[in-house]
Amino acid sequence: MKKKIIVACGGAVATSTLAAEEIKELCSENNIQLDLIQCRINEINTFIDDVDLICTTARMDQHFGDIPIVHGMPFVSGVGIDQLKEKILSILKG
């Protein structure tokens, strides 16, 4: 079953692209089929149906029901990246 992930940032270009590439690689390495959507934070509601995970690289105070949200800045900075990958895998495999 494909997992649907939204990767969002303020501008939907630089940081979300880094995070999206890392998530694609992580899912590929773990045999997780992926439907990945890249957008701006203010566009999340447009793609929210059947989403398994939201990864943001910008500050966001909004919540979307029980959809898990992870902060993706470790994909940009490298600090805490292993813990973030473990967290994403636990959410997607859970």
Phi, psi of 33 (to 5 degrees): -75, 140
Check whether 12 has a pLDDT greater than 60: no
Q: Residue 79 carries which DSSP code?
A: T
User: What was the pLDDT predicted at 69?
Assistant: 96
What pTM did the predictor assign? Answer: 0.94
Name the packing angle between helices 81-93 and 14-29 (round to 10°). 60
Give the pair of three-digit tokens for residue 82. Answer: 């292993």
- The residues carrying an active-site annotation are 9
Helix (H) or strand (E) segment spanning residue 74: helix 74-77
Q: How many Cβ atoms are within 10 Å of 65's Cβ, its own excluded? A: 6
> Is the pLDDT assigned to residue 82 strictly greater than 60?
yes
* pLDDT tens-digit series, residues 29-81: 999 999 999 999 999 999 999 999 999 998 888 899 999 999 999 999 999 99
Residues of 77-91 as b/e, b for ≥16 C-beta within 10 angstroms?
eeeeeeebbebbeeb
Selected from 3.20.20.70, 3.40.50.300, 3.30.420.40, 3.40.50.2300, the CATH number assigned to the domain covering 3-93 reads: 3.40.50.2300
